[in-house]
Amino acid sequence: MSDHIAQVLSACSSSIFALRLLRNHGLKSDQLHLVARETTIASILYATQAWWGLAGEGDRQRLERLVARLRHMGYLPTDFLTVKTLAEEADRNLFKSISQCPSHVLRHLLKDKPTSSRSLCVRAHNFVLPPKDNRNFLSRVLYNVICPPMGDA
């Protein structure tokens, strides 16, 4: 994943140059924020569900430093979310889409749990849990839905 992150960071450097030009040509802060989100942040978050679990902590920190730099330079609002928060939100949104749409292309990867005649507690989802693996999107999101990480409580 380090090669992918390096490529993303390189593309973001070009975006920062373009943002600087836009600001120098008179683009206002709120418009710069919008452009930065739609270009630089979008390229960072592209397909995070596939690679986020495989990225090392150092690579994730490099991305966080880039977003902090964008905030510091005024290209993003000071209260802009972290890359980790945005990646987790993308995971939740994709899972919601997969679980609610029976014709979703990834729906076959979720196995419905057999129904029981017993009166059990309601679960956050009704899918069979695969072996836990935080690198795999489906495993990561299925476990996070029923047992959120400690920092999210």
Residues 107 and 81 in one domain: no
In a shared domain, residues 77 and 113: no
49 and 9, same structural domain?
yes
pTM here?
Answer: 0.78
Query: Does 114 lie in the same domain as 47?
Result: no
Shared domain for 7 and 72, answered yes or no, is yes
**Overall number of domains in the chain:** 2
Task: Assess if residue 110 is contained within a domain.
Answer: yes
pLDDT digits (tens, 9 = 90+) for 61-102: 999 999 999 999 999 999 999 999 999 999 999 989 998 898
pLDDT at 153: 45
Q: What pLDDT shows up at residue 114?
A: 67
Domain for residue 37, yes or no? yes
Residue 45 is assigned to a structural domain of this protein: yes
Query: Is residue 93 assigned to a domain?
Result: no
Same domain as 64, residue 109: no
Q: Which domain holds residue 141?
A: 102-152
Same domain, yes or no, for 64 and 117? no
Residues 6 and 81 in one domain: yes
Encode burial over 57-72: b for 16+ CB neighbours within 10 A, e otherwise.
eebbebbeebbeebbe
Q: Does residue 94 sit within a domain? A: no
Residues 60 and 133 in one domain: no
